């Protein structure tokens, strides 16, 4: 697995994503981080957004749009389109980012990103 550091350029790559609660993850997908942008999806939603790094802290905003199958979000509802604010902390030892997605008026969901490949 590649080693990453705190520089934003080193964040660029393919990451797997897991979403859920403190007691366990219930959904997953993939995201690509590139030049401050986020692209990704899971079996029912695709994601587009932006991010920035400040030291080991990741912040950003992500829009999710339904495209296929049952409309069940990681938040437990069935909306077709929604936006979340994200905040996470980079763990350079494990090449992971752990944090929360916050959806106004709904609540928050834990997430974990694991880096799988760098952009060449």
> Tell me: the pLDDT tens digits for 81-119?
999 999 999 998 889 999 999 999 999 999 999 999 998
Cβ burial, residue 55 (10 Å; 0-12/13-18/19+): exposed
How many alpha carbons fall within 13 Å on the CB side of residue 17? 28
- Report the pLDDT value the prediction gives residue 3, as an integer from 0 to 100: 43
Average pLDDT for residues 53-78, to the nearest whole number? 93
Give the tens place of pLDDT for each residue, 4-23. 444 556 789 999 999 987 67
CA diameter of the chain? 40
Residues 6+ apart with CB under 8 A from 103: 75, 82, 83, 84, 109
Domain residue ranges in the chain: 8-118
Give me the phi and psi of 69, to 5 degrees please. 70, -165
Region 36-51 average pLDDT: 96
Q: Does domain 8-118 correspond to CATH entry 2.40.128.380?
A: yes
Question: Distance between CA atoms of 13 and 6, rounded to whole angstroms?
Answer: 14
| Integer CA distances (angstroms), 52 to 7, 30, 75, 120, in order | 10, 18, 24, 20
């Amino acid at each position: 697995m590649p080693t990453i550091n705190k520089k934003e350029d080193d964040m660029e790559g393919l990451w797997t994503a897991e979403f859920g609660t403190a007691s366990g993850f219930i959904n997953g997908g993939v995201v690509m981080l590139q030049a401050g942008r986020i692209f990704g999806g899971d079996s029912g939603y695709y994601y587009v957004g932006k991010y920035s790094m400040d030291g080991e802290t990741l912040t950003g905003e992500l829009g999710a749009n339904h495209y296929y199958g049952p409309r069940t979000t990681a938040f437990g509802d069935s909306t077709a389109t929604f936006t979340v604010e994200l905040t996470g902390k980079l763990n350079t030892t494990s090449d992971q980012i752990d944090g929360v997605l916050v959806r106004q008026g709904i609540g928050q969901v834990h997430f974990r990103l694991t880096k799988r490949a760098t952009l060449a």
